[in-house]
C-alpha cells in the first residue's frame, strides 16, 4: 500500500509541477455520456446477471510543454462523476493526475509517435468498500497509415487498492484502435483489446449454514477473497478472481461543430476465469473542447 501510495504521490507532483515550466494551457474538455450494460454484475450465464443504465460527467485540464523539436510533455488533471440510477451504491466520484511524454520518430504527419506516462486516480463510491486508489503505467504507439487513417496501440500496467481486499488487484492490458476520418465531419472507430488480472464477479447468493454462498456448486467454494454485498438490492456474493478478457467494438463519431463531437459506440467483452462471462456495453457521449 505504501509503495502504491508513493507512486500516486510522484504522479501528482509531476502533474502539478509540469505546468509551471512555461507550459501552454490549460486546455479544457468536458464530456457527458450515457451507457447501457447488459451484465454489469459480471456474472456467468444464469441467475445473477443484471443490466442497468449509467450516466457520467467528466472534465479534464491539460497543459503542453515542448521539450524539443520532436518531444512533447503533457500533464493534466481529470475529474469524473458517475451515477447508476438502479444501483446507487455504484455512484462514484474520481479525481487524478497524469503525465505523459510523447516523442515523434521523424518528420511529417505519417511519422510514428511513441508515448509513455504515469496516471493516478482516487475514486470514492457510495458503497465505501469499493473506494480505491489506482496507479497506472501507460505506454503506446500512434501511427498514421495515411492522412485519414490512424492506428493506436495502447498498453497499461495497473494496480489498485480498495478499502476491501475483494475490490483490490493488479492488471495488464493491451488495446488497439483504428480511426478512419471519412471526411471533415464523420469518424469511424474500430477497437480490440486484451486484459489479464484481477476482476470482481458478483454471484446471486443463498443463505446456508456457512453464511451467504453462491447457489452454483461450481462456484460455491471458489478460492480467493469474497464477501456478501448488498449493492444490487438482493443477496449477492462478490468474488475477486483472476481473469483474461478479450474485447472488440465499433463506433461512429460525427462532429457537431469545430469543438464539439458526439460518439456512439458498442463494445463486446468476453472473460474467462472459473466461469465464462460476457458483457455488452453501448454508449453515447458528447465531448466539447474549450
Got the DSSP string for 202-251? EEE-EEETTEEE-SSTTTTT-SS-EEEE-TTSS-EEEEEEEEEEEEEEEE
- Cα(15)–Cα(267) distance, rounded to whole angstroms? 31
Share of the chain above pLDDT 90, in %: 70
Mean per-residue pLDDT, 97-114: 94
Strand pairing partners for 28? 61
For 126, list phi and psi in degrees, rounded to 5: -65, -30
Total count of residues recorded for the chain: 290
* Cell 495502447 sits on residue: 154
- Cα(43)–Cα(14) distance, rounded to whole angstroms? 39
Where does residue 182 rank: exposed (0-12), middle (13-18), buried (19+ CB within 10 A)?
Answer: exposed
Mean per-residue pLDDT, 224-250: 88
* 3-class state of residue 74 by DSSP: strand
Cell of 160: 489498485
Count how many domains the chain has.
Answer: 1
Cell of 175: 488495446
- What is this structure's pTM? 0.86
Running DSSP on this structure, what letter comes out for residue 23?
-
Predicted local confidence at residue 25, as pLDDT: 81
pLDDT band, very low/low/confident/very high, at 43 (cuts 50, 70, 90): confident
Predicted local confidence at residue 6, as pLDDT: 46
125: containing domain: 2-289
Predicted local confidence at residue 289, as pLDDT: 93
- Cα(189)–Cα(272) distance, rounded to whole angstroms? 26
Predicted local confidence at residue 209, as pLDDT: 59
Running DSSP on this structure, what letter comes out for residue 175?
E
- Lowest-confidence pick of 171-180, 190-199, 217-226: 217-226
- Cα(283)–Cα(194) distance, rounded to whole angstroms? 20
How many CA atoms lie within 13 Å of 146's alpha carbon, on the beta-carbon side? 4
CATH number of residue 261's parent domain: 2.40.160.40
Compute and round to an integer the Cα radius of gyration of the chain.
21
- Cα(200)–Cα(131) distance, rounded to whole angstroms? 14
Strand pairing partners for 111? none
Where does residue 190 rank: exposed (0-12), middle (13-18), buried (19+ CB within 10 A)?
Answer: middle
202-204-207-208 Cα dihedral, nearest 10 degrees: -80
Amino acid at each position: 500500500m505504501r509503495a502504491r501510495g508513493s507512486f500516486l504521490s510522484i504522479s501528482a507532483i509531476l502533474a502539478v509541477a509540469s505546468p509551471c515550466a512555461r507550459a501552454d494551457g490549460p486546455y479544457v474538455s468536458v464530456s457527458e455520456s450515457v451507457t447501457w450494460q447488459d451484465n454489469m454484475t459480471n456474472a456467468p450465464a444464469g441467475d445473477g446477471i443484471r443490466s442497468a443504465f449509467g450516466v457520467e460527467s467528466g472534465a479534464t485540464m491539460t497543459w503542453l510543454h515542448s521539450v524539443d523539436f520532436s518531444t512533447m510533455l503533457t500533464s493534466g488533471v481529470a475529474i469524473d462523476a458517475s451515477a447508476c440510477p438502479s444501483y446507487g451504491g455504484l455512484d462514484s466520484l474520481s479525481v487524478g493526475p497524469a503525465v505523459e511524454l510523447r516523442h515523434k520518430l521523424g518528420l511529417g504527419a505519417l511519422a510514428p509517435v511513441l508515448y509513455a506516462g504515469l496516471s493516478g486516480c482516487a475514486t470514492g463510491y457510495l458503497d465505501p468498500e469499493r473506494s480505491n486508489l489506482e496507479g497506472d503505467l501507460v505506454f503506446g504507439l500512434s501511427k498514421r497509415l495515411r492522412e485519414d487513417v490512424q492506428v493506436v496501440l495502447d498498453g497499461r500496467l495497473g494496480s489498485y487498492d480498495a478499502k476491501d481486499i475483494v475490490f483490490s488487484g493488479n492488471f495488464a492490458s493491451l488495446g488497439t484502435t483504428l480511426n478512419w476520418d471519412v471526411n471533415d465531419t464523420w469518424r469511424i472507430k474500430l477497437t480490440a483489446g486484451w486484459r489479464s488480472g484481477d476482476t470482481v464477479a458478483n454471484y446471486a447468493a443463498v443463505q446456508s449454514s456457512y453464511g451467504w454462498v453462491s447457489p452454483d456448486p461450481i462456484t460455491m467454494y471458489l478460492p480467493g477473497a469474497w464477501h456478501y454485498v448488498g449493492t444490487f438490492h438482493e443477496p449477492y456474493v462478490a468474488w475477486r478472481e483472476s481473469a483474461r478478457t478479450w474485447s472488440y467494438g465499433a463506433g461512429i463519431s460525427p462532429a457537431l461543430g469545430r469543438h464539439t463531437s458526439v460518439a456512439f459506440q458498442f463494445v463486446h467483452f468476453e472473460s474467462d476465469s472459473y466461469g465464462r462471462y460476457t458483457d455488452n456495453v453501448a454508449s453515447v457521449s458528447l465531448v466539447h473542447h474549450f
